[in-house]
Amino acid sequence: MFVSSDAFYQQLAQDIKQWALALGFADIGICDTDLSHHEAKFMQWIENGYHGEMDYMARHGLMRARAHELLPGTLRVISVRLDYLPPEALIVSTLQDTHNGYISRYATGRDYHKMMRNRLKKLQQKIETQVSDLVARPFVDSAPIMERQLAEKAGVGWVGKNSLILNEKAGSFFFLGELLVNIPLPVSEPVIEQCEKCVACITICPTQAIVEPYVVDGSRCISYLTIEKFGAIPEEFRDAIGNRIYGCDDCQLICPWNKMAQASNESDFVPRKDIHSPELLSLYTWTEDEFLKKMEGSPIRRIGHERWLRNISIALGNANYDPKIIKALEEKKRHASEMVIEHIDWAIAKQLNNQPVVNRKTKRLLNAVERGMPDHC
């Protein structure tokens, strides 16, 4: 092994940052593993039931705040950022057209987990050329770890009032990954929180899921409802879901810092044609086999065909009146599961009510996006 001097680790940290950038990561920071001051807040969040049906959030208890227990011997966490917003995001046009389905922009391309993990593994291998007895492990949403709090401590950004990491040069449209290592690298300086008095994300949330600054009731969040939740979506949230069929970006889109959002040049994140700005009625015709085939390599595949139909049924109910929608809903009802039928019945009743859809929050959001977001959105 090389001599473990301060000068050696200072140089190694600089090399790691250069290697990470060469591998395509947009930013990197280094921190220790101490998140003890977050433990009580996390346990209170669990006690409040804000994790909904995400039992895995509670399963590992405080290990989430203790990376050194996840990988014994861990001294440092290398936190990386990878921008994902596609060059032609079509955000405004998709949200404006109630007959199209909106998919959270992180999910319109290929699944990011494997790609990021492979790059972190390559970064690990680079470090191993300098540290022969390195013990390391990469993570990308694959372990009980507080990635946002670690990213904040590593200086990648600060935790905003919507609970996401914000970066003054890149907004929040990026993925995070971590490489746990057993070497005493010098740590990065955290950045100063810059949300100040802004509460735009809190007021724009369609379901009032941000119950106080920095605290999200996950069980109310549209991303949770359309992705994580099994079974029926409570009726109280269906109107607010609008045409969002997988996830929600509203608290990011309204954020003033996302005027700095960077367009990704990653080919994996180029939107798939079928789901970029898709017609709801077209998506609704997919059989389960078609869904599984078309969604190969996509994060959307994990929700399965039944929840896919559930989400689209709600969006069709919220669309501006069209007899074709009622016909499609009635046809789907003949072969749908009981859970999906519940949402179809709701959607048919909503369509028959024949009231124009006017969502003031969405109109305000679209105005803000057109004024404040980069042109590629």
pLDDT tens digits along 18-76: 999 999 999 999 999 999 999 999 999 999 999 999 998 888 878 888 999 999 999 99
pLDDT at 361 > cutoff 90: no
Establish if 294 belongs to a structural domain.
Answer: no
Angle of the 304-318 helix axis to the 323-333 helix axis, nearest 10: 150
- Predicted confidence band at 359 (pLDDT cuts at 50, 70, 90)? confident
Confidence category of residue 358, pLDDT binned at 50, 70, 90: low
**Range(s) of the domain holding residue 40:** 6-87+107-181
Q: Which of 152, 138, 124 is nearest to 65 (CA)?
A: 152
**Per-residue confidence (pLDDT) for residue 3, from 0 to 100:** 42
Query: Residue 300, by phi and psi: left (phi above 0), alpha (psi -120 to 50) or beta?
Result: alpha
Element (H, E) at 240: helix 235-241
Candidates 41, 244, 51; CA nearest to 159 is: 41
| Number of separate domains in the chain | 1
Which conformational region is residue 171 in: left (phi greater than 0), alpha (psi within -120 to 50 degrees), or beta?
Answer: left
The Cβ of residue 254 has, within 10 Å, a number of other Cβ atoms equal to 23
Q: Is residue 250 part of a domain?
A: no
- Please tell me the predicted confidence (pLDDT) of residue 376: 62
- C-alpha distances in angstroms, 362 versus 132, 241, 349? 54, 10, 22
Within a domain: 323: no
Torsion of CA 274, 277, 280, 282, to 10 degrees: -30
Query: Using one digit for the tens of pLDDT, what is the confidence trace for 295-347?
Result: 999 999 999 999 999 999 999 999 999 999 999 999 999 999 999 999 999 99
Characterise 24 by phi-psi region: left (phi > 0), alpha (psi -120 to 50), beta (else).
left
What pLDDT is recorded for position 366? Answer: 87
Q: What is the arithmetic mean of pLDDT over 184-207?
A: 97
Longest dimension (CA), the chain: 75
- Residue at 40 is within a domain: yes
Q: What is the torsional sign of CA 14, 19, 25, 26?
A: positive
pLDDT tens digits, one per residue of 220-270: 999 999 999 999 999 999 999 999 999 999 999 999 999 999 899 999 999
pTM (global) more than 0.75: yes
Q: How confident is the model over 81-104, as a mean pLDDT?
A: 95
Residue 39 inside a domain? The answer is: yes
Strand 210-212 to strand 102-103: parallel, antiparallel, or no bridges (unpaired)?
Answer: unpaired
- 3-class state of residue 5 by DSSP: coil
Q: Structure tokens of 375?
A: 């042109």
Decide: 192 and 168 in contact? Cβ < 8 Å: no
Mean pLDDT of the 87-99 span: 93
Evaluate whether residue 229 is within a structural domain. no
Q: How far apart are CA 29 and CA 13, in angstroms?
A: 9
Question: Does residue 125 surpass a pLDDT of 90?
Answer: yes
Q: How many CB atoms lie within 10 A of CB 159?
A: 17
Q: What residues act catalytically?
A: 141
* pLDDT cut 90: percent of the chain above it: 87
| Residue 176 · residue 156 · CB < 8 Å | yes
Please indicate, yes or no, if residue 119 is contained in any of the structural domains.
yes
Q: Is residue 33 part of a domain?
A: yes
